[in-house]
Structure 1
């Protein structure tokens, strides 16, 4: 019989187990049997088809033959499969979506406090800050901007070698408040990629300006990052209005056990911050506080 005389008959038969499906309360994708009769020879193949193939009036999805996943070429059935789209897994295991950031260090001792340095690394001020921390043998947390990492890789490695924590502070200090989750993920991923060049894999994220949103929390969860804010803000970032003594006064007046203190080693001229660190660190140590890295 010629190819033109071939007759094909397709019979689709449901062979699920209604009793088992109903008992479990779950409807499984039906198993369907494709029967192709070609020139008196019957071909039978079990094919798992989802309900989506028969949607829109029974039309198959793009790339799927009308017989499900079989295509007959000169009487020989050949399975065809549409390749899965490329997918890049998260860089960190996903975690539960937070509803607020962490403001305190409650689990590191009764007199623990955390000193956090934002907006570095900076080629001038970060080394000065590191020297003060070495002098008083304390640990801190450095929230780094990814776009500044490549030109300061040696400083990033020095911070890590000294035992301080390095976190993700976005790629370019963007205000995330009105960004989508995808846009926040881009900021996070670019910073993570930059820090990876210094063998760093952050587990903490700090939002610039302390601007948190649902999208930011979703992005943090997807990348396995803990959102961390602060509880003491001496406003050292306001270099036009706040001097060294005001920074010191605010820190000493408001800091209590478990507080997270905001300071900056980048993002501008930080001479006042460096001078303030030299004053309030030994005073807080004398009061019995313990500086911890997060």
Structure 2
């Protein structure tokens, strides 16, 4: 399904920055630390100037026939130890947002939960401090395109390349972290788009539990759908694209409830 959202239209041409190779990723469980902040991601360096080179290009990622939907799918693509049987992964799309991202970060910190923030390039533009806060708190970031095109699968290969590269550059320039995962807006995929993700050296990532929180169906509806999560699923939520008060309120209930059920939130992180 395609998620209609309000998009920010500011543009700034940026150079190519590569992603970390999916083939070299290692993802695993994220044990709860004793300290308030995670240590799964390094504190980013100061943003590089326009004249500073990006990291060396990583080995190619194979072209997949479909994106990753579950933790089992992820492990098939990314070598590493099996996830614990009680694992789920939380992913958060469309930010960073100056109000809702910090609120969600504080909630995650309180419950020692790692998350993957799928960032839109032109949302990072203007909200650089918030984007850096995500990484400073130990969370990881994914590439969610530059401008969140609703019909991503219909774009030409040249436009796909620009959307991914511009977002990759902005995220890396701002946070010091080069995303190794790519999520298409609305889960809109095509063979050409999967090939474009591989060319950009990113693993295509989808989800397996969608509460449709972007449509603001009510806190109860979002909560119910997220509480229906099963081990091995990748959960989808949003911190950008509009008023996310319902999402935030639902997560305040869902995160401690799933943890009380014995579920373990895991990170999809490179090492």
Range class of TM-score, shorter chain: 0.7 to 0.9
Query: Which of 177, 180, 203 in structure 1 is aligned with 2:156?
Result: 180
- Report what 2:137 is aligned to: 162
Q: Normalising by structure 2, what TM-score?
A: 0.73
- The one-character-per-residue Cα deviations of 1:198-233 (angstroms, maximum 9, x if unpaired) are 212000000001000111111111111000000001
- Alignment partner of 1:218 is 2:184: no
Which of the two has higher C-alpha Rg? 1
- Alignment partner of 1:195 is 2:171: yes
Once the 2 structures are TM-superposed, how far is the Cα of residue 259 of structure 1 from its aligned partner? 0.3
- Report what 1:269 is aligned to: 243
- Report what 2:253 is aligned to: 279
- Report what 2:205 is aligned to: 228
- Report what 2:20 is aligned to: none
Aligned counterparts of 1:102 and 1:252: Cα–Cα separation in 2: 21
- Alignment partner of 1:113 is 2:79: no
- Report what 2:75 is aligned to: none
Aligned counterparts of 1:166 and 1:215: Cα–Cα separation in 2: 23
Once the 2 structures are TM-superposed, how far is the Cα of residue 163 of structure 1 from its aligned partner? 1.3
Once the 2 structures are TM-superposed, how far is the Cα of residue 277 of structure 1 from its aligned partner? 0.4
Once the 2 structures are TM-superposed, how far is the Cα of residue 92 of structure 1 from its aligned partner? 4.1
Aligned counterparts of 1:208 and 1:180: Cα–Cα separation in 2: 15
Query: Which of 93, 97, 100 in structure 1 is aligned with 2:66?
Result: 100
Query: Which of 82, 104, 120 in structure 2 is aligned with 1:129?
Result: 104
Unpaired runs of 5+ residues, structure 2, are: 1-55, 73-81
Could you list the structure 1 runs, at least 4 aligned residues long, displaced by more than 4 angstroms after superposition.
none
Aligned counterparts of 1:156 and 1:92: Cα–Cα separation in 2: 23
Equivalent pairs counted in the alignment come to: 203
Once the 2 structures are TM-superposed, how far is the Cα of residue 250 of structure 1 from its aligned partner? 1.0
- The one-character-per-residue Cα deviations of 1:41-80 (angstroms, maximum 9, x if unpaired) are xxxxxxxxxxxxxxxxxxxxxxxxxxxxxxxxxxxxxxxx
Aligned counterparts of 2:179 and 2:137: Cα–Cα separation in 1: 16
Once the 2 structures are TM-superposed, how far is the Cα of residue 99 of structure 1 from its aligned partner? 0.6
- Report what 2:15 is aligned to: none
Once the 2 structures are TM-superposed, how far is the Cα of residue 150 of structure 1 from its aligned partner? 2.2
Once the 2 structures are TM-superposed, how far is the Cα of residue 182 of structure 1 from its aligned partner? 1.9
Aligned counterparts of 2:102 and 2:190: Cα–Cα separation in 1: 33
Deviates more, 1:107-116 or 1:136-145: 107-116
In terms of fraction of residues, the more strand-rich structure is 1
- Report what 2:225 is aligned to: 250
Unpaired runs of 5+ residues, structure 1, are: 1-89
- The one-character-per-residue Cα deviations of 1:65-122 (angstroms, maximum 9, x if unpaired) are xxxxxxxxxxxxxxxxxxxxxxxxx954322111100011133211110111000000
- Report what 1:288 is aligned to: 262
